[in-house]
Structures are given as C-alpha cells and as structure tokens.
Amino acid sequence: MLRYTLKRLASLLVSLGVASLVIFFVIEVAPGDPASFMLGINAQPDTVAALRAELGLDLPKWQRYLEWVGGMVTGDFGTSYTYRTPVAQMIADRLWVSLPLALYALILSTAIAFPAGIYAAARRGGAGDVAVMGATQLGVAIPNFWFAMMLVLIFAINLRWFGAGGFAGWDEGIGPALWSLTLPAIALALPQAAILARVMRSALLDVLGEDFMRTARAKGLTKGQTLRRHGLRNALIPVLTILGLQFAFLLAGSIIIEQVFYLPGLGRLVFTSISARDLIVVESVVMLLVFAVIVVNFLVDLAYAAVDPRLRSRT
C-alpha cells in the first residue's frame, strides 16, 4: 500500500510539474506586455522598463518560471498587475466561496445520485427504473447555468425564499452563508447527479451479471443482501472514477454558476482579470484549478486501492 501511494504521489508531482510548465508557457506567448498595458498607451519607455523590472518581467523565462513555481510552493503567488495586492490573498478570499460551493454540490449530487442509481438498478426494467432514467436523461440535457436562472426565477424572485444573488459571507455565521450557497449548489449538483446516477446504475447492473453474485445467491443470500454485501463495493470502482471527474466539472462549473448568482468567487476574479489583462492572476487561478483536479485524481487513486485489494498488492 505504501509503495502504491508513493508511486501515485510521484505521478502526481510529475503531472503538476508538466501542467505548470504548460500554463506558464501558454501565458508567456500571450501577446502584449503587462507593464505597458498597466501604464496605458501614453507611458514613457523608461517608466515601462522600470515597471518591467519591478514586476520581474525582464528576467530570463526559465528563471521567472522557477520563481513562479517556487513562490507558489511557499504561498507567494506574486502581485496582481492591476490591484497591486498579493494574488494569494485575492485567491484565498474567493476560494472561501468557490470551494465550499463545489463541495456542497458534490455532497448534494452524491446524496441524490447514489440512492437513485441503486433504486433504478434494483428495479431494472420496472416503472421506477424508467422514471429515474427518464429524469436523468432530462437532467443530463439541462445546462446548469440555465437551471440556475430558473431556480432564481422561481425560488428567489417569485417565492422569495432565497436572495436572488450575492453571498452572505462567512462572518454572518455558517447558516446564512450556506443558505446563500444553496440555490447555486442545487443548480450545480442536479445535472451532475443525473450523470452519477446513470453511472451508478450501469455499474451495479454490470456487477449483477458477475459470477460471484451468483455464488452469493447460492450461499442463501437474498437478492437485496447480495446487492448490498457484494454488489455495492464492486460497483464503487467505476463510480469513483466519475466522482473524481465530477469534482473537476463542479469546480469549473462553479465558476459559471457564480456569474448567475453574482457570487464573489474564483469565477468573478478570473473574468475581471481576463478583461483587465491581469495575466498573473489568470495564471494562478488556472494553476489552482488544475492543481485541484490533479490532487482529486490522486485521492481517487488512493480510494481505488482502499476499495480494491488487487491494486494494493500490485507493485
């Protein structure tokens, strides 16, 4: 198990290294010089040069890459070109909205999808199965941001159960903060839950066809016992893969959903930074998102090993 973990960890570090290189050099080829952009078209060449030096833009590329990566490791993401404030602080503030939102949505999605998928698989071909599958077919087709607009229209504007947007802030207490994240989380979670429920169902149906399920029945287990004791854990293996992928989609999706609800999260930060050509912020946010995806995949790999003993013993 230790060897497996170390191996995964090594591959995690390699992925992070390559991803950071890709991001850095993609941003590097971006046309336009941040210094002249910040100072406007009328700036004097020597002022621009001074600012370039101050921002470290005059250093060789490889050195700037190393400084960027080194900085990120120590929590120093550099200084925003437009706001002249530390990027790390800006991101940290926004992360307190985006991350809880993504997690909230992940929990909701799992809480809806697992029972729905198991129910449909157990009632295969029955009315319950058809109903759940029909609902998921629709859920997969609905764009989450449109669904969010509809939620706002119904629950915020018409019923007035929620505010139409904005974020209460964690200082006001956990309750109001979570309440203001509830509609966005539902909007994010439902389409993902539809996908997850479908995967759960088909994974279970695949396992139901396995020989060991028949063996379990021959021991005298009822259909339900067989499903619970032997089916679920084996079905979890493909479900985990999707769960890992979903986190990436939820995090990316939260960037879009924030636009609907005017939430001060990473999404708002990244879009304002793009229009202000504040590339150092864009670069850091993108790196952070990619970092999150890679780390979640690493955790999924560890979860695989926890579920499947065959992985633990293989090298």
Residues 26-45 interacting with other proteins (rule: CB under 8 A)? 26-27, 29-31
Tell whether residue 313 is a contact of other proteins (CB under 8 A). yes
- Amino acid identity, position 216: A
Q: Which is nearer to other proteins, 94 or 230 (CB)?
A: 230
Does the footprint of other proteins cover residue 308 (CB under 8 A)?
Answer: yes
Residue 18, interface with other proteins (CB under 8 A)? yes
146 binds other proteins (CB under 8 A): yes
Closest to other proteins by CB, 47 or 313: 313
Q: Residue 178 has which token pair?
A: 């979570």
Residue 9 Cβ vs other proteins, minimum distance, rounded to whole Å: 11
Binding flag, residue 276, other proteins (CB under 8 A) = no
Which window, 35-43, 47-55, 81-89, 211-219, contacts other proteins (CB under 8 A)?
211-219
Does residue number 272 form part of the binding site for other proteins (CB under 8 A)?
no
User: Is there binding between residue 110 and other proteins (CB under 8 A)?
Assistant: no
DSSP assignment string, the chain: -HHHHHHHHHHHHHHHHHHHHHHHHHHHT-SS-HHHHHH-TT--HHHHHHHHHHHTTTS-HHHHHHHHHHHHHTT---B-TTT-SBHHHHHHHHHHHHHHHHHHHHHHHHHHHHHHHHHHHHTTTSHHHHHHHHHHHHHHHS-HHHHHHHHIIIIIIIS-SS-SS----GGG-HHHHHHHHHHHHHHHHHHHHHHHHHHHHHHHHHHHTSHHHHHHHHTT--HHHHIIIIIHHHHHHHHHHHHHHHHHHHHHHHHHHHHHHT--SHHHHHHHHHHTT-HHHHHHHHHHHHHHHHHHHHHHHHHHHHH-HHHHH--
In the complex with other proteins, the residue whose CB is nearer, 49 or 131, is 131
Residue of 269, 286, 262 lying closest to 80 (CA atoms): 269
Q: Does 168 bind other proteins (CB under 8 A)?
A: no
| Gyration radius of the chain over CA positions | 24
The answer to whether residue 91 forms part of the interface with other proteins (CB under 8 A) is no
Residue 183 Cβ vs other proteins, minimum distance, rounded to whole Å: 14
Region of 42-50, 59-67, 112-120, 269-277 interacting with other proteins (CB under 8 A): 269-277
For the CB of residue 222, give the shortest distance to other proteins in the complex, in Å. 5
Among 1, 13, 22, 130, binds other proteins (CB under 8 A): 22
Indicate whether 234 belongs to the interface with other proteins (CB under 8 A). Answer: yes
CB of 73 to other proteins, least distance (A): 18
- Closest CB 289 distance from other proteins, rounded Å: 5
Q: Which of 118, 203, 227, 294 binds other proteins (CB under 8 A)?
A: 294
